[in-house]
Amino acid sequence: MTEIRLCGRCKKSIPQKDFESGVITERYGQLICQDCSEVLSKKKDKGFDELHFLFESILNEVKNIARVLTYEPGSWLNIVGAVAQCFVFGTLIFAYINRSGDVHSILLLSIVFQLMALTFFVIKK
């Protein structure tokens, strides 16, 4: 099974023949393809240094992370579910404080609140 190798700068796939021929360079633990290493050597001749390459790779990684993140829109049902979850916590504390009284009905109320919270959380999905 062949291993997929990606360039650390442009994220293109590196062919196996390039890897075996030795035209691939490695910088800061990342493989760099032949095209990117030529660009970097030209930039280095113009005055760019390794620190600039490091900052550029960090910027590229942050951009990749930003592309992957997805935001889930909130709704009023999620807010109601969160409030019901708070009621669950409150009834559990109340059941613990009043252990000598009727604990079963309070725990049953807690179960009902928890089921309501779960219902509100998954109702839109």
pLDDT, averaged per 10 consecutive residues of the chain (125 residues), comes to: 70 72 68 74 62 79 78 80 92 89 89 92 78
Provide the pLDDT for residue 28. Answer: 65
From residue 123, give the alpha-carbon distance in Å to each of 77, 78, 116: 8, 9, 10
User: What is the domain partition of the chain in residue ranges?
Assistant: 16-68, 76-122
What the block records as the tokens of 46 is 């113009």
- pLDDT at residue 65 in the model: 80
Tell me the residue ranges of DSSP E strands in the chain.
Answer: 25-27, 30-32
pLDDT, residue 63, reads 82
